[in-house]
Structure 1
Amino acid sequence: MKKSVKLLWWVFGGGLAFLVILILLINLRLIGHMPSIEELENPRTALASQVLAEDGTVMGKYLSVDRSNIDYKDISKNVINALLATEDRGFYEHSGISAKGTIAIPFYLLIGKKRGSSTITQQLALNLQADAEGKQRARNFFARAFQKLPEWVISIKLERNFTKEEIITLYLNTVTFGDNVYGIENGARTFFSKDPSRLSLEEAAMLVGMLKGPSQFNPRRNPQMARDRRNTVIENMIDEGYITKAEGEAAKNRPIVLRYNKIDHNKGLAPYFREVLRAELKTWCKEHKKADGTEYNLYRDGLKIYTTINPRMQLYAEEAVAKHLKDLQKSFAQQSNVKSGKVWDKRQKDLESFMKESDRYKQMKDDEATDEEIKKAFSTPVKMKVFAWRSFTEPDLNDIDTVMTPMDSIKYMRAVLQAGFMAMDPESGEVKAWVGGPNFRYFKNDHVYKTKRQVGSTFKPFLYCFALMNGFSPNAMLPNEPVTIGNWTVSRNSEGSVGGSISMAGALAKSLNLVSVYLIKQIGAKAFADFAQNKIGFEGKIPEYPSIALGTPELSLFEMLRAYTMFPARGVITKPIYITRIEDRNGNILETSVPEKREVISETDSYTMVKMMEGVTAAGGTGARLRFRFNIPGEIGGKTGTTNDNTDGWFLGYTPQLLAGAWVGCENNYLRFASTALGQGANTGLPIWAYFMQKVYADKTLGVDPNSTFPIPANLHNDLYFNYDSNVQPGAEAEDVGNGAATDYEPVVDVGQYGEPVENQKKEEPAKEKEPAKEKDKPAKDPATQPKDPKALMPPKPVKKDN
């Protein structure tokens, strides 16, 4: 044998031996990453975690890649046939590697023609490696050749450990359709808004056709190329006998009809809720370990988070907020100081701060623009997209294109009214609806859980409840007279009335500040603050100052609703819950939630408070328009609330089956309504509650009955009836008189809205006390009754310099 032939055989034999050894080392996991049998049987592909509503519908996802798994039986036969006809016609004959296709590769390379030789099993092996190592198909010839070796080994292992149907299912769950969409289920839902089992022949062909080039054959970007590729797949199906010639021709002639609906975190139900939930779940993942000791990953581990959100109630809540804010914004924008821009005349520091928070500013800083260049850019009109109310049923219609300076856009967007709304079952604590603002795309700040604002008169029911527990009777007649505590005097109610007397129940119904201050003087600010802080359990600080009788504490809507559960739930406070359980990707339950309950008052006292708070919505109460303007029937307890200078408007209300609350205001408290008629809680928060309940009562599938009643405690032989009448001077009984104007909250301290000195401010002389001050009514300098920082009390009304 010639030396050259011997050398050739030695090279061939050596090469073959090297290849065998290399494959053996790969199989033994000594070279590269080779998944174990356990990993192949349970592939750890990155799966999006899903947030599911009460009825099991997907509300949103947390993802690094948008992927979900599906079973073989739930995939349309059209998809399977299109896949086999196009990607691997010998799938059922080979054992993972196509010998014919592999041997043919060199010959196709010699003639300069590309030909795919990878089987479906090999493509799955590559996909699994990409998930495990973050690697994609190599572009370099030699790197790709080396990549083939572990592919072959994994392919053979897959064929030995899985059925053909399982391999097809795994493959279709790992393929990409572009747009960060992975898996046939997400592909079907994204491009056609369909379950994958219902895909038609032409729809299945289009999706399979996209596998060759997800971007190139994307029907949104390249419709003609996508159609041509789809028709090629249909031709393949005809060739393989999966469909007849007539069926194929009919399908090829049909246009591509997309119903594109990619899940966007800015869209969908309850985006504010989902963002608050995201933060909580990230903490949960850090605190919980998987079987291998590693932390859960919210974006890759395919968790299923089952929530209490009712999709229909959520939709009604979002529509209620949008419907009312759309109308209310018109009135707010027409105020002279807002319309003219004068409200910003002395807010240059604030505007500069807002500018520095903007993406435009940060980008210019990254591009090393000078301060002068940035200032000029923010004063130059440019095309932009801003939020504007045009529809309350179609949020996407509220994006408008306009031309304005970036600084003007800051002023414009800051003057958009914000809102928070939440509804829950007061007995179980289950949160049914959560709206954190007007539009999540533009306004990310959640006003249900995160935002804390002064609560105004919605705090009064706790004061009246504490008075009830300390011997006061709902029918006791109380003085509607000026009250002085220390150096703090309240001389009249918010609408100007003073004098006469009224029952305690009537005072709560009409939200009379004079009576509230009288009550806290009798029971003591320190004792009431202790009751609110330690018995009710507010997380926010409740200061021991008399002004808390008028609602100066800063609390969240979430906290307030939690506390209000004690009224309809027979004296028991129930912490709101919004997660029922968390499952892993395999359906194993990782955690379940149960409501936390505490009895804080007796059932009799809670029922008495319910009957007192029903007076708020009765004729003469501050929430009477709930009945006479919105025609809401049934037994309803509630409370309106309005803070200093109409900055915040509140309404919290409940029926025997549902508790809900609304807050309305601007992000900055110097942007507010000029009149109580517009800015009071009865005009801002209450209509949202009313619109929501109108829809809830009309939807009989929800089972919320307007004829349900609050259960009478067993120890009460007769129902309670209260006297809401009085001899208060005319004006106090007018509907929607408001509650909490600046003069009623005003301490005799010479400070402005932010604690700056105010010049030429008219101050009220404190009334002289007719009897020596009691121990609980100490002089103003004593910190027990007067704060060191005057801002702890509601600030006085600022000097108005415009109309």
Structure 2
Amino acid sequence: MIRILFQKKWIKWPLITLGGFFFIFIIFYGSVYCGFWGKIPDKDELRSLKQAEATQVLDKDGRLIGKYFIYDRQPITFEDLPNHLINALIATEDIRFYEHNGVDNVSLLRVFFKTILLSDRSSGGGSTITLQLVKNIFGRNDYGVFSILVNKLKESIVAKRIEDIYTKEDILTQYFNTVPFPDNTYGIESAAQKFFNKSTKELTLSEASTLIGSLKANHSYNPRLFPERSQLRRDVVLRQMVKYKYITQNIADPVMNQNIVLDYQYFNHDLGLAPYFREEVKKELNKILKKHKKADSSSYDIYKDGLIIHTTLDYEMQSLAEKAMKEHLQNLQSIYEKEYGKKAPWNENSNLLDNALKQLPIYRKYQEQGLSENQINDSLSVKQEMELFEWKGNITKKVSKKDSVQHYLKFLNAGMIAIDPNDGAVRAYLGGIDYRYFKYDHVSQSKRQVGSTFKPFVYTAAIENGMKPCTYFPLKEVTYTNLKDWTPKNSSTEQDPYLNYNLETALSNSVNTIAVKVMGEVGITNVLDQIKKMGVNEELPEQPSIALGTAGIKIKELAGAYASYVNNSKGVQPFYITKIEDKRGNLIASFQPKTPNEVAFSDYTRQVMLEMMKSTVNKGTATRLRNTYGLKNEIAGKTGTTQDNKDGWFVGVTPKLVTVTWVGNDNYNIGFKTTKQGQGANSALPIFGKLYQKMNENPVFDPITKSSFEKTPDRVLDDLDCKPEKRDNFLKRLFSKKKKKKKFKKK
């Protein structure tokens, strides 16, 4: 019979062709199975499955300070997965999940006959959850025209091996921990936190279906970007659950009538040491690794490739800095709130709250959806369980988004950086008070007015341009007629208008009127040129008010400029990474500090300025370092307070360390109620004081804490040897006005 059939050409040649294709496929499959197209993990390797090797971040001494895990995900256990989430996945992606062994042959046949032969795209795909898991873990390689076939065959082989080793629950858990969601989010826990601000086990049926629906096409069904399209896809998931009897139509209908409501935020539980620093290092890494490739020309992945990142951070110093900041801010926050009392701006000022709400992404989202102000207000007033930051211990209670925003409006924040002034190596880095709740980095992102910490730049330009340290200026206020009658004032209202200070006394006491007069003598252009030489690259306005620190400068740039006073008159650029190695210890890249070739000012100017800033600590605005904190270290420094007590600053300069601290409210409309609490000496200086107290107790820091400034040359001491102040004589007092008008000289 078979011989007769083969005698008929219309049967013979198709069978031979089919047999040939089958033979070629068997040979091709064998080449893949045997590793001709790349090694396939065996069962022993899969038993100890490591999805990726974490990148290690080390401090300057090789101590581990953090890791970058695969896709920055948050792994969870099977018990954390709600049933409706699992059911939504199975109903949508793999209804025969519990019946197949990794490859669903029934689905493959359906795809072949209905999708390929009959062009019925509604028949679904043949990819199983296990196959998708393999793709998530191992990715896909490029094999040219054979890529799809080779990758599919490799995935099917690995999928069957995984099914032999792991239970279905294990596979589901692995899948949910690795699957990619929209906005470059990996793992269900990260997605739940990002899109709905809740844990996976708290996801509602609607929310779970929304996330499962997005798996079909991460970008196209991103609920943040395409809410209507995402909602339609969510409803498809719900109908699949009804079809396969996971839920009833009565349950599905009310959910499908609801709009998707996001509570979108980049929220995660970034704990551990130096989270702001680690985030900044990550940003630097992404830039650096774009310029370096593996031996096979592929790109490095900081979440998979097990890189070793050597940084400049000092683990012990960072730990002490975080403790110092928390001790001070917890106490300061309490005083801050008590000083305002019940009439605090975050309670009384409705416009303040309204403006803060309008900055929220969810508010803009509601606007784009066409909701009215009343509807938006209603949505933002819905209460839900939420964990809120408090210094005495976080609290969990039912609050609305409005309540949450109002709660966080009251908090003071902080920023601090400590660098080695010789090269700019960052030893300690505080971007804020708690990275989990305050993601904004005040060291590298924020540009706040720097207040009186700008004044040393004015005096540096003056000395460098020939002004003598014993030049005297009167304290009296001056109204500058060519500046719209601008009248700079001093913080103290009771000052002798006939008194004159020399430069050292004026700087150490942070006298505003004299700082402006000195700038008038030396010229704004010379001051701006001077700070550029010191490494401040911000474009600052050519306005006399910058003498009082009205310009915004980043904390790290301020630290780099101040380093010039103990680094042979050269500013530095703070840096974080010294070298990057692969997981085997092979060097990928190394980095040297960037220091200018030319000095910013003469050594004479440097020594004069150091003496002036030592005076600030010993008998000026920073004396509480000596009186309150009992520090006997050799310290120079400068306090700073901005208008309306919005910002408090302190810059501490020691021979081996330059430290900048800042304290203020993230909302610039809220300052301290009084200068007593808001001045830099009270708000920012204590962080430095407490840090040095702790460092003094630890012998490991002796090279820093017991270091001494170089001997001051006699010439400098002689030029500073004059009375700190003098009064106008009788005739000058007789014919001078307590307050006079003049024009500001713009040079």
Question: Shorter-chain-normalised TM-score: which range?
Answer: 0.5 to 0.7
| CA drift at 1:360 | 6.0
Contact 1:482 1:489 survives alignment (8 Å): no
Residue in 1 that maps onto 2:490 = 493
Q: 2:574 aligns with which of 573, 576, 598?
A: 576
Aligned match of 2:291 = 287
Partner of 1:549: 547
Q: For 1:20 and 1:728, locate their aligned partners in 2 and report how far apart those are by CA, in whole Å.
A: 107
Paired residue for 1:340? 343
**TM alignment of 1:627-776, pairs within 5 A:** 627-712=626-711, 722-723=721-722, 725-727=724-726, 767-769=740-742
Q: Is the CA contact 1:48–1:301 (under 8 Å) kept in the aligned structure 2?
A: yes
The separation in 2 between residues aligned to 1:389 and 1:296, in whole angstroms, is 40
Q: Output the CA distance in 2 between the equivalents of 1:415 and 1:127.
A: 45
**Counterpart residue type for residue 323 of structure 2:** E
Contact 1:489 1:766 in 2 (8 A): no
Matched, 1:56 2:62: yes
| Residue in 2 that maps onto 1:435 | 430
Deviation larger for 604-613 or 352-361 = 352-361
Distance 1:585-1:368 versus aligned 2 partners, 3 A rule: farther
Amino acid at match of 2:389: F
SS state of the match for residue 564, structure 2? Answer: coil
2:618 is aligned with 1:618: yes
1:451 to 446, 449, 461: 446
Q: Distance in 1 between matches of 2:524 and 2:365?
A: 51
- The answer to whether the 8 A contact 2:29-2:153 is kept is no
In the TM superposition, residue 602 of structure 1 has moved relative to its aligned partner by 2.1
Note closer, same or farther for the CA distance 1:491–1:317 as it changes in structure 2 (3 Å cut).
closer
Corresponding residue for 1:26? Answer: 29
TM-aligned CA deviation for residue 473 of structure 1: 2.4
Counterpart of 2:322 (choices 315, 318, 343) is 318
Q: 1:302 aligns to what? A: 306
Q: CA deviation at 1:552?
A: 1.4
Q: Return the letter of the residue paired with 1:494.
A: S
The question of whether the paired residues in 1 share the 8 Å contact of 2:478 and 2:739 is answered with no
Aligned partners of 2:155 and 2:535: how far apart in 1? 63
Q: How far apart, CA to CA, are the structure 2 residues paired with 1:379 and 1:453?
A: 32
Change (3 A) 1:655 1:444: same
Q: Which runs of 5+ in 1 are unaligned?
A: 4-13, 68-104, 106-124, 136-144, 156-173, 183-263, 391-397, 730-764, 778-783, 786-803
1:650 to partner: Cα distance: 0.2
CA contact (8 A) 1:66 1:180 kept: no
Counterparts of 1:722 and 1:383 in 2: how far apart (Å)?
Answer: 66
Task: Write the distance in 2 (CA, Å) between the matches of 1:16 and 1:154.
Answer: 28
CA change 1:610–1:401 in 2 (3 A) is same
- Is the CA contact (8 Å cut-off) linking 2:535 and 2:560 kept in structure 1? no
Distance change in 2, residues 1:685/1:36 (3 Å): same
Contact 1:289/1:296 (<8 A) preserved = yes
Assess if the C-alpha contact under 8 Å between 1:501 and 1:727 holds in 2: yes
Could you say which residue in structure 2 is the equivalent of 1:609? 609
Residue 741 of structure 2: SS of its match in structure 1? coil
Q: Could you tell me which residue of structure 2 aligns to residue 591 of structure 1?
A: 589
Conservation of the 8 A alpha-carbon contact between 2:346 and 2:353: no
Instruction: Rate the CA distance shift 1:652–1:387 in 2: closer, same or farther, 3 A.
Output: same
| 1:178–1:721 distance in 2 versus 1, CA, 3 Å | farther
Q: State the distance in 2 between where 1:660 and 1:129 align.
A: 48
Choose 679-688 or 356-365, whichever is displaced more.
356-365
Q: What is the CA–CA distance in structure 1 between the aligned matches of 2:411 and 2:713, rounded to whole Å?
A: 49
- Kept in 1: contact 2:470–2:502 (CA 8 A): yes
Aligned-pair identity (%): 33
| Counterpart position of 1:108 | none
1:327 to 324, 327, 331: 331
CA contact (8 A) 1:44 1:132 kept: no
Q: Distance in 2 between matches of 1:181 and 1:54?
A: 32
Q: For residue 60 of structure 2, what is the amino acid of its counterpart?
A: E
CA 724–558 in structure 1, closer or farther in 2 if over 3 Å, else same: farther
Structure with a larger share of its residues in helix: 2
CA contact (8 A) 2:649 2:685 kept: yes
Deviations 1:542-601 (A, max 9, x none): 222211211111101111001000012121212112100011233221211111112212
Aligned equivalents of 2:25, 2:383: Cα separation in 1: 65
Counterpart code for 1:64 = I
Check if 1:483 corresponds to 2:486.
Answer: no
What's the CA shift for 1:691?
0.7
1:36-115 equivalence runs, <5 A: 36=38, 46-64=52-70
CA distance 1:718–1:651, change in 2 (3 Å): closer
Give me the whole-angstrom Cα distance separating, in 2, the residues matched to 1:369 and 1:768: 56
Q: Write the letter of the residue equivalent to 1:329.
A: Q
Deviations 1:642-675 (A, max 9, x none): 0001110000011111111100101122211121
In 2, are the aligned partners of 1:506 and 1:724 still within 8 Å (CA)? no
Structure 2 CA distance for partners of 1:604 and 1:367, relative to 1, 3 Å: same
Structure 2 match to 1:509: 508
Deviations 1:367-410 (A, max 9, x none): 997653431243455442211111xxxxxxx3212344432321
Shift in CA distance, 548/701, structure 1 to aligned 2, threshold 3 Å: same
**Which residue pairs with 2:353 in the alignment?**
351
Instruction: Tell me if structure 2 keeps the 8 A contact 1:46–1:65.
Output: no
Distance, in Å, in 1 between the alignment partners of 2:387 and 2:364 is: 18
Q: What SS class does the counterpart of residue 443 from structure 2 fall into?
A: coil
Q: Is the 8 A contact 2:31 2:37 kept in 1?
A: no
- Mark the CA change 1:356 to 1:297 in structure 2 (over 3 Å): closer, same or farther: farther
What SS class does the counterpart of residue 566 from structure 2 fall into? coil
Distance across 1 between alignment mates of 2:552 and 2:154: 61
In the alignment, the residues of structure 1 paired with residue 172 and residue 307 of structure 2 have an alpha-carbon distance, to the nearest angstrom, of 20
CA contact (8 A) 1:642 1:650 kept: yes
Q: For residue 70 of structure 2, what is the amino acid of its counterpart? A: S
Q: Aligned to 1:334, what secondary structure does the other structure show?
A: helix
Q: CA separation in 1, counterparts of 2:675 and 2:307?
A: 48
Distance 1:310 1:152, change over 3 A: closer
Conservation of the 8 A alpha-carbon contact between 2:56 and 2:68: yes
CA distance in 1, matches of 2:642, 2:426: 26
> What is the TM-score of this pair, normalised by structure 1?
0.62
- Structure 2 letter corresponding to 1:378: L
1:386 touches 1:400 (CA, 8 Å); kept in 2?
Answer: yes
CA distance, structure 2, for counterparts of residue 571 and residue 472 of structure 1:
18
Contact 2:475–2:499 (CA<8 Å) still a contact in 1?
A: yes
Deviation digits for residues 112-166 of structure 1 (CA, Å, limit 9, x no counterpart): xxxxxxxxxxxxx99987643369xxxxxxxxx97798569999xxxxxxxxxxx
- Aligned mates of 2:589, 2:416 — CA distance in 1: 27
C-alpha distance 506-130 of structure 1, shift in aligned 2 (>3 A): closer
The unaligned stretches of length 5 or more in structure 2 are 4-16, 74-100, 102-130, 142-151, 163-170, 180-267, 729-737
Change (3 A) 1:334 1:129: closer
Partner of 1:224: none
Q: CA separation in 2, counterparts of 1:656 and 1:332?
A: 34
Distance in 2 of aligned mates of 1:403 and 1:626: 43
- 1: CA distance between counterparts of 2:132 and 2:175? 17
Structure 2: how far apart are the matches of 1:177 and 1:724?
76
Distance 2:512 2:318 in 1: 35
Q: Give yes or no for contact 1:505–1:722 (8 Å, CA) kept in 2.
A: no
Paired letter, 1:388? E
Structure 1 residue 319 displacement after superposition:
1.0
Q: CA deviation at 1:272?
A: 0.9
Q: 1:17 to 1:345 in 2, by over 3 A?
A: same
**CA-CA distance at 1:480 after TM superposition:** 2.0
